[in-house]
Chain A
Amino acid sequence: MAKVPKPDELAQIEHRPPESPWTETPVEFRPGTYCYGAKPQNIEPVDMPNPRDWNPADEDWKLPENWKQTVLDGMKLRLNRFRSFKLFMDICVRCGACADKCHYFIGSGDPKNMPVLRAELMRSVYRNDFSTFGKMLKKYAGARELTEDVIKEWFYYYFQCTECRRCSVFCPYGIDTAEITIIGRELLNEIGCQIDWIAGAVANCYRTGNHLGIQPHAFRDMIEFFVDEIEEVTGVRVEPTFNRKGAEILFITPSGDVFADPGTYTLMGYMMLFHEIGLDYTWSTYASEGGNFGLFTSHEMMKRLNAKMYAEAKRLGVKWILGGECGHMWRVINQYMDTMNGPADFLEVPKSPITGTVFENARSTKMTHIVEFTADLIRHGKLNLDPSRNDNKIVTFHDSCNPARAMGILEEPRYILRNVCNHFYEMPENTIRERTFCCGAGTGLNTDEYMEMRMRGGLPRANAVKYVHDKFGVNMLANICAIDRAVFPPLMDYWVPGVDVTGIHELVANALIMKGEKKRTTDLRYEPLPGMEEEEEEEEDV
């Protein structure tokens, strides 16, 4: 694995394009800036084409013989299926408003990371093969032939886009480069050019229900482990159930939270909250993944993986589905699920059994976001909260791209935060809400061999955190996304040491005064609660 340069070296970023025109600047597969190619064992189980051992840095990509026809046919098919794709191929005026909005461009200075040029990589081929002018005027119309080098460029730059949609906020026509990247990745997948991290996650989700490949019994064990942990901290024993028919609610969250810190604390937070309010819910080992790595592969794969949610809800006979803190999971639920796998007419419109609130905004999908659910609980005074338990945490909030720009969940998490902690500061206006910056590792780019690019892409976000860290002493970065929780810790260590990462429900659980709890001296991380530092030490001495 490539060594990541030191932060001050990495920060020497030139935003000046090179001398040679972009069409004549070949891509260079420098370690640390690209992801490994998909291994055969990860694409065979889901019947994806052209399984082989290959390495993007090699000269020969072992493309299938008819690769070019496959790609062009694939483009044609998708032009006919997606108006967005067709339109976005035609109407860009290259005004450049999107250019400096992309975190990868800001962090790398590579002009092909300007959203407009990322899209031109595809448009140039579109002009060459699908437009009369382009066919006539060739390069004078900005057209170029589809060659293997173009495929390599696509691979490099379509897996250097986190489909975060920030560019689309600023484009006067709403051109969403993410849509082009999504199609670009679909086309690459048609000829077997997937990255391994996504391919592995997809294969695992398909077979075991979650991207980590946790089998049912292990899934249960892992959750039971956290039951013990919760008891240790609070003295309360929560009792999760699994695959239970007749439960009122099916709860689905990203499996990353079952597996790695600090997401695990958020997971504990969910269970404590549900226990406290006496929610009749069940986990599923079959639908044990909220995240959908199909979104980063193809629309079809997204649908194949997403199908489990409704199927499991139907099998278990629950009334509605509650979804945990996750980013792209919610993009899929909001924009695609009902259309792809609905109608969910076997479910009921979600209604909070505690407050009686009917979630009208989920009338058709029948799936409610946990921050909507919890905000409603707090609003109705159903939770006994002591925000001072989070007093040692100076918190800021990162809007994850998908909930912000593909959904619009902006206020709910902030409302919760203001109720569960006393020190909450916003990052600068140009870096939050719909203008939020990506973590730098979304859409399946959260792999270790890609670390340099992750640090680059995460720079704008980290820089904004640094601002509030320096100004207000912020030491905790809250978010509602499992990928954030996985990728922010190294990003913070790199750019802003001294800032930890948390989900919202970890903070909720810290503040939550549970019925029958013992005197709590630590938070979920076994760190002393404010004012309890000494008692903690005493306990340790005993």
Chain B
Amino acid sequence: MNPLNAIVFSLVAVGVLVLVALLGAGVADLQYFFGVVVPYAAAAVFFIGVVYRVVYWARSPVPFRIPTTCGQQKSLPWIKHDALENPVTKGQAVMRMVLEVLLFRSLFRNTRLEFRRGPKIDYASAKWLWLGAIVFHYAFLVVFIRHLRFFTEPIPGFIHLIENVDGFLEVGVPRLFLSGVVLLAALTYLFLRRVTVPQLSYISLPADYFPLFLIFGIGLTGILMRYFIKVDVVAAKELTLGLATFHPTVPEGIGSIFYLHLFLVSVLFAYFPFSKLVHMAGVFLSPTRNLPNNSRIQRHINPWNYPVKVHTYEEYEEEFREKMIEAGLPVEKKE
């Protein structure tokens, strides 16, 4: 698809969602539907979907040990083994995964091709993608944890802690949370990167832009709601806590921007298991990263290993026996 079409399609899709929420909750007064039915449905789709997806992957076996080795193998005792990049035990493989998941280690390796006439080829350091990605994910995580205050009563201490760190600038009323702003900035970077790097816009699908726009919409409505278009926070929490405790109530007068925010979040949750966003669960299953490279040390079993037709030595000797005898090569059957 041509890049512009992909962007427009995704924008329109998010636009339609916004309209649906505004019309539905704001105009048609379907607060119960948007405040209770949709969130519950979305949560259900999310949990069932993710489980389904993981089970779907896990149903296919890993017949061979195929870790990508990025460091020295374990061989002779005096050669330094790179346990993190070429694990041989489960524990070492777990460490490799931890670094991968928490620090995006592979992405940290990223370089950028610099191709000049000559030809002269260089691989420049390119940490921006790593930075953009890690900032985005951690900002999202902080925002997510902060939001748990809406689903808990009393609010656990760690949420206060995160809020204090997040709001350490102590500016504005209500206090400015950095994570929200950073999240939008990282999203903007990821979007700009996608449209300005020609190769990247060439491969991009609506499925790449849609989540960007959707999350941007979520972030934006969140920020608007917190700092600009005030909503009744107490009533909002009554609703969310009701959801969390399975006693849904829909208080009056929260403000339609809240329903819009909630609706977009619901869509994100429901969309998650069916999209590339499942990489969050998938990364844990990746056989090139989560397996120890120990297939010479320990035999691994392929559950569907089946016998194959081979060319046996007997058949081979049968064909070449005379020539073998003539050449003085030993044979099994001397005719």
- A interface residue numbers (CB < 8 A to B): 11, 13, 15-17, 21-23, 47, 79-87, 90-97, 99-101, 106, 111, 114, 116-117, 120, 131-133, 139-142, 165, 168-176, 179, 206-209, 215-217, 220-221, 242-245, 285-286, 299-300, 303-304, 307-308, 311-312, 315, 333-336, 338-340, 342-343, 357, 359-365, 367, 372, 375-376, 379, 404-412, 415, 428, 430-431, 433-435, 459-460, 463-464
Contact = CB atoms under 8 A, between A and B. Distances in A.
Contacts of A22: 202-203
B282 interface: yes
Interface stretch (B15-23, B147-155, B302-310): B302-310
Contacts, number: 316
A430 B121 CA distance: 11
A539 to B, nearest CB: 34
A303 B295 CA distance: 16
B68 A168 contact: yes
Contacts of A407: 69, 73, 293
Interface string B49-80: 00001001111111111101111111110111
A99 B199 contact: yes
A407 B283 CA distance: 21
Interface of B: 1-3, 9, 53, 56-66, 68-76, 78-80, 82, 85-86, 100, 104, 106-107, 109-113, 115, 117-121, 123, 129, 133, 197-200, 202-208, 274-276, 278-279, 282-283, 285-289, 293, 295-302, 304-305, 308-313, 316-317, 319-320, 323-324, 326-330
B242 to A, nearest CB: 32
A379 B274 CA distance: 55
A399 to B, nearest CB: 11
Contacts of B121: 106, 459-460, 463-464
B293 A221 contact: no
B60 A80 contact: yes
A417 to B, nearest CB: 14
Given A91-B276, A94-B205, A95-B133, A365 B295 contact: yes
B200 A90 contact: no
A415 B202 CA distance: 44
Q: Which of B66, B109, B111: most chain A CB closer than 10 A?
A: B66
Secondary structure dominating the interface of A: helix
11 contacts: A47-B309, A82-B60, A87-B287, A90-B278, A93-B276, A114-B199, A114-B203, A179-B288, A343-B299, A359-B75, A364-B295
Given A173-B279, A215-B323, A303-B308, A334 B295 contact: yes
Contacts of A95: 107, 129, 133
A83 B285 contact: yes
Given A96-B199, A307-B310, A340-B305, A361 B74 contact: yes
Contacts of A169: 68, 70, 106, 109
Contacts of B207: 141-142
Secondary structure dominating the interface of B: loop
B230 to A, nearest CB: 36
A451 B79 CA distance: 39
Contact of A171 (B106, B310, B320, B326): B106
Given A357-B76, A408-B293, 9 more contacts: A83-B60, A90-B276, A117-B202, A173-B286, A176-B68, A300-B308, A336-B64, A339-B301, A361-B73
Given A343-B299, A412-B75, A459-B121, A172 B293 contact: no
Contacts of A15: 113, 115, 199
B106 A91 contact: no
A408 B82 contact: yes
B313 A97 contact: no
B329 A220 contact: yes
Given A84-B66, A430-B111, A13 B119 contact: yes
Contact of A94 (B76, B118, B204, B295): B204
A83 B106 contact: no
B200 to A, nearest CB: 5
A518 B119 CA distance: 47
A541 to B, nearest CB: 39
Contact of B203 (A96, A101, A460): A96
A96 B197 contact: yes
B276 to A, nearest CB: 5
A314 to B, nearest CB: 10
Nearest to A217: B327
A463 B53 CA distance: 44
